[in-house]
């Protein structure tokens, strides 16, 4: 998702690992400048509850957003709003990156 001024790209991915004692669902939000060829920088990380909506699809893209209905919206060219549902463990949260403000909001049932 590109910022309104075209300078930044926000992306989300969910990594689903399986196996005895190693099952995990981790959703992260990354930022990168539009002209960068380098790796994006993680700004939010969630340890999500399972199961994912497509438990038999071994494809991280198919499970994007994990089990928390993650959504992103650029409020301004320098303000990214990230919303989610449920009660994931927030493993990492940056509130600012290179002038970009990152706001995290939990949506509650009946309150959106």
Give 21-36 pLDDT, tens digit per residue.
667 788 999 999 999 9
| Rounded (5°) CA angle 14-42-31 | 100
List, in order, residues 6 or more apart from 10 with CB less than 8 Å away.
1, 3, 29, 30, 31, 72, 74, 80
The reported pTM is 0.82
Does any domain span residue 99?
A: yes
User: What whole-number distance in Å separates Cα of residue 91 and Cα of residue 112?
Assistant: 24
Does any domain span residue 112?
A: no
Number of domains the chain contains: 1
- Which pLDDT belongs to residue 72? 96
Its domain, for residue 23, covers 8-107
């Amino acid at each position: 998702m590109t910022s309104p001024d075209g300078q930044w790209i926000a992306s989300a991915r969910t990594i689903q690992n399986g196996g005895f004692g190693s099952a995990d669902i981790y959703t992260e939000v990354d930022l990168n400048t539009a002209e960068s060829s380098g790796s994006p920088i993680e700004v939010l990380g969630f340890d999500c509850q399972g199961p994912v909506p497509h438990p038999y699809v071994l494809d991280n893209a198919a499970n994007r957003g994990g089990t928390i209905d993650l959504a992103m919206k650029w409020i301004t060219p320098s303000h990214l709003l990230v919303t989610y549902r449920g009660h994931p463990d927030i493993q990492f949260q940056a509130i600012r990156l290179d002038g970009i403000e990152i706001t995290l909001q939990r949506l509650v049932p009946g309150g959106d």
